[in-house]
């Protein structure tokens, strides 16, 4: 009898285990079903850029609904000034939100989630797809902006412009604060959600899965962030989140190398002062812009997009999912054509009342050609001011590097703040990033050899700890190589589709470390670390404010020395100044930024915030002659049109 | 030697099926669901199915070594042997399908012929062996060529697992399971040898 009962129990348990496993596998197939969207780059690329999944899921959508309620301590900065949680951190508002009468729920998320948020079903890091929906960042969270007019109105979101309101590092700290809250539980989130959205029901199976996955997400992310505090420190909270003394990046800027050093090298990044404004991504076509980033460190736009997502927290696993790979490639292709085949509204279309006079523009072009075009090329004047002519990528120093450090070309450097290119580990990053993604077997073999060489080089340089570091990197690489046996789908350098002449050997010539020639022409190395900045075209210059790589010069008038560059100014939700071409950035009062909406004190005396250099034309704004002033005013007029 | 067709089949007891099915199901569920907690679900599952197959084949190898050419094989052996193959077939589906994009040639390119070939050969030969064990009357009392075939298959299957898990030892789990399996096989041989000694 006992034997019979045991047999029955064993068979029943077996059946349950099999049904659960096979059922889950079937559901996984359903949740992860995806087919590549069809259409041209303008349509498919735009969708990927603004709504695509990139493995940057911030938190579950239901939590996004109630975050302000259940985690108000974590998200409150004390400078809200009546703004929503999203607005306080500078996310672009959803244009449909004002008309929304119903409560903000999961079902109408597309009407209230800020512009640039995607709704995905990828669990962060593992990229497992379930029925639990997440709110995730996309390219356009950072790379779409709005112009704030003096009357408080906002332009439509402009794809490709950096979001200069976005305080993304502050937001990250708030999220870390929120999920590390020991009182936050799946039940608390779901209970709060049920009160806000009582009419929304989840199916039985989806409800069970949702609850399990929500609990799993919370414990996983808490463990991960809690475990990372040795590398990231504890997050800031309250007013600290908006204080430059605590979080020095501020609105419209990131610390990209702090992030990439952490994720690619697993080293702390706190001693990294390489602040970078969120760059515009117009006209990224490689004919115009063969090297991406301010320092020209990257070649391929797809690699650039991959690194942007990776540095922002997307896992290697997530970045291998077909949908995300598609989005990375489609978004990169979109930025290549954005401003060329895909129109971007020029200055005169945004500010018709401030369109410069044709004669000034013509004179300005002459000044531009004398002082700027050698490095930036130029844009011919369009007959219709609401349109632009194609950029002319011709110039003596165009696409060349302007050095700032020991590797500077003999004819001098740019003189801008050098922290962006001289930070610790800068010269180790190319190999670390390159070996993050194993290539196909042939390329992976070379990656392994280069790691071996790095170990030997470090030993020869009497740097045993560095040798140990590379040994660990190699172990990590070998594990990843086993996971991506045919090569990671985004490994680089890779042959472009349809390029029959491309071979693995030719690719390896472009793999780091591959060149010490700062001005090799063409610079084919896929990823470099020169202590230099690259000269590139500057299409849509009016959308590039504040200027210089670190956003330390609020207006174009200040950049070209028509006006003095301010030592300190307040940043946040600044009004756009169409006259001076940039942001109205008020000075602090008694060393403080008292307007809660512009609470970040930008001090150019702080390390990494320097506003010197790029001194063209090299005239003193306090001692301009009438002729110089007239030239600079004309130059400013021309710059409004490009 | 008795006429094979007249020998009764070894007794079948329901718990043989229940327990072997339970082992298979729990390992299958573990491989499928525990993967959700891992950084790379596909990678984990692919390996966990292989580890599970190694665990399932271990009792089959033990029984085979203890009884081969000495006593009739049992349903325990046949069931564990079969479930182990099913699990390795699932491993193949995940490994070849999801990690190699259903392109067997890439396995050869990556691993080289002498490592890749036995993997595929194992799948085929083991399936043939299982088909015979479920269709031949003499599966429990093999004679002639079939007896040597069964012996060869046991060696071939163990050698494959040993090379993959102990020699290559790609991860700690593989090494531990491989060593466990090897220990069980050695123990089975020692017990078999001891039994023979005592029967002389």
Instruction: Report the gap between the CA of A12 and the closest CA in chain B (Å).
Output: 9
Collect all residues of chain B within an 8 Å Cβ-Cβ radius of residue A8: 18
CA distance B108 to B114: 8
Collect all residues of chain A within an 8 Å Cβ-Cβ radius of residue B37: 216, 220
Residues 6+ apart with CB under 8 A from A326: A36, A37, A48, A52
CA distance B28 to B15: 19
Question: How far from A163 is each of A85, A140, A338, A572, B138, CA to CA, in Å?
Answer: 16, 8, 16, 11, 76
Q: Please report the number of interchain residue pairs, chain A to chain B, with beta-carbon separation below 8 angstroms.
A: 78
Of A13, A220, A483, the CB nearest to B22: A13
Of A6, A21, A441, the CB nearest to B28: A21
Q: Cβ A21–B22 below 8 Å, yes or no?
A: no
Is A492:A303 a contact under the CB 8 Å cutoff? yes
Q: What mean pLDDT, rounded, does chain A reach?
A: 92
Collect all residues of chain B within an 8 Å Cβ-Cβ radius of residue A4: 14
Digit-coded pLDDT (tens) for A191-247:
999 999 998 888 888 888 888 989 999 998 998 888 888 888 899 999 999 999 999
Among chain A residues, the shortest Cα distance to B21 is held by: A14
Show which residues on chain B lie within 8 Å of chain A, measured between beta carbons.
14-15, 17-19, 21-22, 24-26, 28-29, 31-33, 36-43, 99-101, 103, 106, 109-110, 170
CA distance B108 to A344: 50
Mean pLDDT of A374-393: 93
| Token duo for residue A504 | 């693995």
How large is the ipTM? 0.90
pLDDT value, residue B106:
83
Collect all residues of chain B within an 8 Å Cβ-Cβ radius of residue A14: 18, 21-22, 24-26
Q: Cβ B100–A14 below 8 Å, yes or no?
A: no
Mean pLDDT of A511-531: 82
pLDDT value, residue B7:
66
Digit-coded pLDDT (tens) for A148-206:
999 999 999 999 999 999 999 999 999 999 999 999 999 999 999 999 999 888 888 88
Indicate whether A347 pLDDT > 50.
yes
Indicate whether A392 pLDDT > 80.
yes
Q: Cβ B39–A485 below 8 Å, yes or no?
A: no
Collect all residues of chain B within an 8 Å Cβ-Cβ radius of residue A10: 15, 18-19, 21-22
Instruction: Report the gap between the CA of A18 and the closest CA in chain B (Å).
Output: 6
Collect all residues of chain B within an 8 Å Cβ-Cβ radius of residue A7: 14-15, 18
pLDDT value, residue A408:
46
Is A137:A309 a contact under the CB 8 Å cutoff? no
Among chain A residues, the shortest Cα distance to B34 is held by: A21
Look at residues B159, B157, B195 and name the one whose alpha carbon lies nearest to residue B67. Answer: B195
Mean pLDDT of A81-110: 92
Q: Cβ B110–A485 below 8 Å, yes or no?
A: yes
pLDDT value, residue A517:
80
Q: Cβ A21–B36 below 8 Å, yes or no?
A: no
Under DSSP, is residue A384 helix (H, G, I), strand (E, B) or coil?
Answer: coil
Of B36, B39, B170, the CB nearest to A317: B39
Q: What is the end-to-end Cα distance of chain A in Å, rounded?
A: 89
Q: Cβ A14–B43 below 8 Å, yes or no?
A: no
Q: Cβ A17–B100 below 8 Å, yes or no?
A: no
pLDDT band, residue B103 (cuts 50/70/90): confident
Of A6, A317, A486, the CB nearest to B101: A486
Q: Cβ A126–B26 below 8 Å, yes or no?
A: no
Collect all residues of chain A within an 8 Å Cβ-Cβ radius of residue B100: 485-486
pLDDT value, residue A407:
46
Instruction: Report the gap between the CA of A38 and the closest CA in chain B (Å).
Output: 23
Residue A401 DSSP symbol: E
pLDDT band, residue A410 (cuts 50/70/90): very low
CA distance A104 to A90: 19
pLDDT value, residue B6:
56
Which phi and psi (to 5°) does residue A571 adopt? -120, 155
CA distance B170 to A217: 29
Indicate whether A600 pLDDT > 90.
yes
Least confident piece of the model among A300-304, A468-472, A496-500, A630-634: A496-500
Least confident piece of the model among A427-431, A474-478, B112-116: B112-116
Q: Cβ A482–B101 below 8 Å, yes or no?
A: no
Q: Cβ A485–B99 below 8 Å, yes or no?
A: yes
Q: Which of B40, B41, B48 to mutate to test the interface with A (most CBs of A within 10 A)?
A: B40
Which phi and psi (to 5°) does residue A300 adopt? -75, 135
CA distance A254 to A274: 9
> What is the pTM for the complete model shown?
0.91
Collect all residues of chain B within an 8 Å Cβ-Cβ radius of residue A125: 39
> In whole angstroms, what separates CA A466 from the centre of its chain?
29
Mean pLDDT of A334-356: 95
Higher pLDDT residue, A318 or A415? A318
Q: DSSP readout, A69-103?
A: HHTHHHH--S--TT--HHHHTTPPPPTTGGG--S-
| Token duo for residue B48 | 């966990």
Collect all residues of chain B within an 8 Å Cβ-Cβ radius of residue A20: 29, 33
Which phi and psi (to 5°) does residue A121 adopt? -120, 25
Instruction: Report the gap between the CA of B18 and the closest CA in chain A (Å).
Output: 5
Q: Cβ B170–A482 below 8 Å, yes or no?
A: yes
Instruction: Report the gap between the CA of B134 and the closest CA in chain A (Å).
Output: 21
CA distance A217 to A604: 40
Residue A15 DSSP symbol: H
Percentage with pLDDT > 70 across chain A = 98
CA distance A86 to A171: 9
E strand or H helix that includes residue A51: helix A46-51
pLDDT value, residue A409:
45
Residues 6+ apart with CB under 8 A from A41: A330, A333, A334, A337, A341, A342
Which phi and psi (to 5°) does residue B122 adopt? -60, -45
Tell me the H-state helices in chain B. 14-33, 41-67, 75-92, 104-111, 113-135, 144-162, 172-199
CA distance A293 to A308: 10
Instruction: Report the gap between the CA of B119 and the closest CA in chain A (Å).
Output: 16
Collect all residues of chain A within an 8 Å Cβ-Cβ radius of residue B106: 485-486
Q: Cβ A13–B170 below 8 Å, yes or no?
A: no
């Amino acid at each position: 009898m006992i034997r019979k009962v045991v047999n029955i129990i064993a068979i029943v348990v077996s059946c349950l285990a099999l049904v659960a496993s096979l059922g889950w596998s079937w559901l996984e197939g359903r949740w992860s079903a995806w087919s590549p969207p069809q259409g041209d780059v303008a349509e498919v690329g735009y969708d990927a850029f603004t709504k695509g999944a990139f493995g940057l899921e911030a938190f579950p959508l239901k939590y996004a609904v109630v975050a302000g309620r259940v985690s108000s301590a974590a998200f409150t900065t004390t400078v809200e000034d009546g703004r929503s949680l999203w607005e306080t951190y500078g996310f672009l508002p959803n244009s449909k939100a004002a008309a929304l009468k119903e409560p903000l729920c999961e079902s109408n998320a597309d009407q209230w989630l800020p512009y640039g948020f995607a709704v995905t079903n990828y669990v962060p890091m593992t990229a497992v797809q379930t029925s639990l929906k997440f709110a995730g960042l996309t390219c356009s969270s950072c790379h779409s902006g709005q112009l704030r007019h003096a009357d408080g109105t906002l332009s439509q979101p402009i794809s490709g412009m950096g979001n200069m309101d976005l305080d993304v590092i502050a937001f990250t700290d708030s999220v870390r604060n929120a999920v590390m809250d020991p009182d936050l539980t799946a039940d608390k989130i779901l209970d709060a959600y049920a009160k806000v959205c009582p009419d929304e029901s989840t199916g039985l199976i989806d409800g069970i899965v949702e609850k399990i996955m929500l609990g799993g997400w919370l414990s996983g992310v808490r463990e991960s962030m809690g475990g990372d505090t040795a590398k990231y420190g504890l997050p800031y909270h309250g007013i600290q989140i908006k204080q430059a003394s605590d979080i020095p990046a501020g609105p419209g800027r990131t610390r990209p190398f702090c992030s990439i050093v952490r994720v690619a090298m697993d080293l702390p990044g706190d001693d990294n002062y390489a602040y970078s404004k969120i760059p515009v991504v117009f006209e990224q076509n490689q004919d115009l812009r063969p090297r991406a980033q301010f320092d020209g460190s990257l070649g391929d736009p797809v690699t650039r997009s991959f690194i942007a997502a990776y540095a922002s927290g997307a896992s290697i696993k997530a970045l291998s999912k077909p949908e995300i790979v598609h989005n990375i490639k489609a978004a990169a292709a979109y930025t290549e054509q954005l401003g060329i085949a895909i129109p971007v509204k020029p200055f005169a279309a945004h500010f018709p009342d401030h369109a410069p006079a044709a004669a000034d523009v013509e004179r300005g072009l002459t000044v531009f050609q004398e002082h700027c075009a050698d490095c930036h090329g130029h844009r011919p004047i369009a007959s219709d001011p609401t349109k632009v002519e194609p950029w002319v990528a011709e110039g003596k120093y165009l696409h060349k590097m302007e050095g700032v450090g020991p590797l500077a070309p003999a004819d001098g450097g740019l003189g801008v703040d050098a922290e962006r290119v001289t930070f610790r580990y800068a010269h180790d990053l190319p190999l670390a990033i390159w070996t993050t993604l194993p290539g196909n077997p042939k390329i992976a073999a070379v990656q392994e050899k280069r790691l071996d060489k790095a170990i030997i080089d470090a030993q020869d340089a009497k740097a045993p700890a560095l040798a140990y570091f590379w040994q660990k990197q190699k172990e990590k690489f070998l594990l990843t190589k086993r996971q991506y046996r045919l090569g990671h789908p985004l490994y680089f350098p890779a042959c472009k589709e349809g390029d029959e002449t491309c071979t693995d050997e030719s690719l390896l010539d472009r793999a780091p470390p591959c060149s010490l020639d700062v001005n090799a022409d063409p610079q084919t190395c896929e990823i470099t670390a020169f202590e230099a900045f690259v000269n590139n075209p500057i299409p849509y210059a009016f959308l590039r404010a504040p200027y210089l790589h670190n956003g330390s010069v609020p207006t174009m008038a200040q950049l070209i020395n028509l006006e003095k560059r301010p030592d300190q100014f307040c940043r946040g939700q600044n009004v756009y100044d169409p006259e001076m071409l940039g942001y109205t950035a008020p000075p602090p009062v008694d060393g403080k930024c008292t307007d809660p909406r512009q609470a970040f004190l930008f001090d150019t005396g702080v390390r990494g915030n320097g506003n010197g250099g790029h001194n063209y034309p090299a005239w003193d704004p306090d001692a301009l002659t009438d002729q110089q002033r007239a030239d600079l005013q004309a130059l400013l007029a021309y710059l409004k049109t490009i | 030697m008795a006429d094979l067709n007249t020998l009764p089949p070894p007794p079948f007891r329901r718990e043989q099926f229940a327990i072997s099915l339970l082992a298979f199901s729990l390992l299958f569920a573990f491989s499928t669901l525990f993967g959700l907690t891992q950084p790379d679900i596909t990678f984990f599952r692919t390996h966990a199915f292989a580890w599970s197959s190694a665990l399932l084949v271990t009792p089959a190898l033990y029984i085979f070594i203890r009884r081969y050419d000495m006593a009739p094989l049992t349903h325990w052996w046949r069931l564990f042997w079969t479930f182990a193959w099913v699990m390795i077939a699932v491993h193949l589906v995940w490994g070849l399908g999801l990690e190699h994009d259903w392109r067997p040639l890439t396995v050869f390119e990556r691993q080289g012929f002498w490592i890749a070939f036995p993997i595929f050969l194992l799948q085929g030969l083991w399936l043939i062996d299982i088909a015979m064990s479920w269709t031949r009357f003499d599966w429990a009392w093999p004679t002639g060529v079939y007896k040597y075939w069964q012996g060869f298959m046991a060696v071939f299957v163990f050698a494959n697992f040993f090379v993959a898990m102990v020699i290559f030892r790609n991860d700690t789990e593989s090494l531990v399971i491989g060593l466990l399996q090897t220990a069980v096989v050695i123990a089975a041989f020692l017990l078999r040898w001891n039994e023979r000694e005592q029967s002389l």
